With several copies, the nearest count.
Chain A
Amino acid sequence: MSLESLYQELILDHSKRPHGFGLAEADDHTGTSYQRNPICGDEVTLRVRVSEDGQTIRDVTWEGQGCSISQASASMLVDLIDGVPREKAAELIDGFREALRSRGTIELDEDVYEDAAALSGVSKFSARVKCAMLAWVALEEGLAQTS
Chain B
Amino acid sequence: MTVPAVTPLDLAAIRADFPLLAQEVNGHPLAYLDSAATSQKPQQVIDAEVEFLTHTNAAVHRGAHTLAAESTDAFEDAREAVAAFVGAGEGELVWTSGATAGINLVAYAIGNATLGRGGEAARRFALRPDDEIVVTESEHHANLIPWQELAARTGARLRHIPVLDDGRLDMDAAAELIGDRTRIVAFPHVSNVLGIINPIDDLMALARSADAITVMDACQSVPHLSIGLPATGVDFAVFSGHKMLGPYGIGGLYGKRELLNALPPFLTGGSMITTVTLDEAQYLPSPQRFEAGTQPVSQAVGLAAAARYLQELGMDAVHAHEVELERRMRDGLREIPGIRLLGDTDAAPRVGLAAFAVDGVHAHDVGQFLDSRGVAVRVGHHCAQPLHRRFGLTASVRASASVYTTPDEVDRFLDATGGVRAFFGAS
Give chain A's interface residues, CB within 8 Å of chain B: 1-3, 6-7, 12, 16, 36, 38-43, 65-69, 125-128, 131
A16 touches B63 (CB 8 A): no
B368 touches A3 (CB 8 A): yes
Minimum CB distance partner of B371 in chain A: A3
Within residues 51 to 85 of chain B, which ones have a CB less than 8 A from any CB in chain A? 61-65, 68-69, 72-73
A sample of 12 more A-B contacts (CB under 8 A), given A38-B274, A67-B364, is A3-B372, A7-B368, A40-B364, A41-B380, A41-B394, A41-B395, A66-B394, A68-B365, A69-B364, A69-B365, A127-B64, A131-B364
Give complex CA distance A73, B73 in Å: 23
Given contacts A38-B284, A39-B380, contact A127 B72 (CB under 8 A): yes
Task: Report B352-385 CB contacts with A as 1/0, cut-off 8 Å.
Answer: 0000000001111100110010000001110001
B364 touches A66 (CB 8 A): yes
Residues in B whose Cβ lies below 8 Å from that of A131 = 364
Give complex CA distance A27, B26 in Å: 49
Give complex CA distance A3, B425 in Å: 14
Residues in A whose Cβ lies below 8 Å from that of B209 = none
B369 touches A40 (CB 8 A): no
Residues in A whose Cβ lies below 8 Å from that of B62 = 39
Residues in B whose Cβ lies below 8 Å from that of A125 = 64, 69, 368
Let me know if B210 is at the binding interface, CB within 8 A.
Answer: no
Minimum CB distance partner of A16 in chain B: B425
Minimum CB distance partner of A13 in chain B: B425
Interface size on B, residues (CB 8 A): 34
Ordered by A's residue number, 30 sampled pairs between the chains whose C-beta atoms are within 8 Å are: A1-B26, A3-B423, A7-B365, A7-B424, A12-B424, A16-B425, A36-B275, A38-B273, A38-B284, A39-B62, A40-B363, A40-B379, A40-B380, A40-B395, A41-B381, A42-B362, A42-B395, A43-B394, A66-B362, A66-B364, A67-B362, A67-B364, A67-B365, A68-B361, A68-B365, A69-B364, A69-B365, A126-B72, A127-B68, A131-B364
Given contacts A6-B368, A66-B364, contact A127 B385 (CB under 8 A): no
Residues in A whose Cβ lies below 8 Å from that of B388 = 41
A68 touches B68 (CB 8 A): no
Give complex CA distance A67, B362 in Å: 5
Residues in B whose Cβ lies below 8 Å from that of A128 = 64, 364, 368
Give complex CA distance A113, B274 in Å: 30
Minimum CB distance partner of B389 in chain A: A41
Give complex CA distance A42, B273 in Å: 13
Given contacts A36-B274, A40-B395, contact A126 B69 (CB under 8 A): yes
Give chain B's interface residues, CB within 8 Å of chain A: 26, 61-65, 68-69, 72-73, 271, 273-275, 284, 288, 361-365, 368-369, 372, 379-381, 385, 388, 394-395, 423-425
A126 touches B362 (CB 8 A): no
- Mostly, the A contact residues are mixed
B323 to chain A, nearest CB (A): 29
Give complex CA distance A12, B427 in Å: 13
Residues in A whose Cβ lies below 8 Å from that of B425 = 12, 16
Residues in B whose Cβ lies below 8 Å from that of A126 = 69, 72-73
Which of B271, B275, B284, B364 gathers most chain A CB within 10 Å?
B364
B369 touches A3 (CB 8 A): yes
Minimum CB distance partner of B364 in chain A: A67
Given contacts A36-B275, A42-B394, A128-B368, contact A68 B424 (CB under 8 A): yes
B364 to chain A, nearest CB (A): 4
B338 to chain A, nearest CB (A): 16
B218 to chain A, nearest CB (A): 25
Residues in A whose Cβ lies below 8 Å from that of B63 = 127
Given contacts A39-B61, A127-B63, contact A65 B380 (CB under 8 A): no
Minimum CB distance partner of B369 in chain A: A3
Residues in B whose Cβ lies below 8 Å from that of A3 = 368-369, 372, 423
A40 touches B381 (CB 8 A): yes
Residues in B whose Cβ lies below 8 Å from that of A42 = 362, 364, 394-395
A77 to chain B, nearest CB (A): 18
Among all A-B residue pairs, the 4 with the closest Cβ atoms:
A41-B394, A67-B364, A3-B372, A67-B362
Given contacts A68-B365, A127-B69, A131-B364, contact A40 B61 (CB under 8 A): no
Minimum CB distance partner of B271 in chain A: A38
Minimum CB distance partner of B272 in chain A: A38
Residues in B whose Cβ lies below 8 Å from that of A16 = 425
Minimum CB distance partner of A2 in chain B: B372
A36 to chain B, nearest CB (A): 5
A68 touches B274 (CB 8 A): no
Residues in B whose Cβ lies below 8 Å from that of A68 = 361-362, 365, 424
Residues in A whose Cβ lies below 8 Å from that of B364 = 40, 42, 66-67, 69, 128, 131
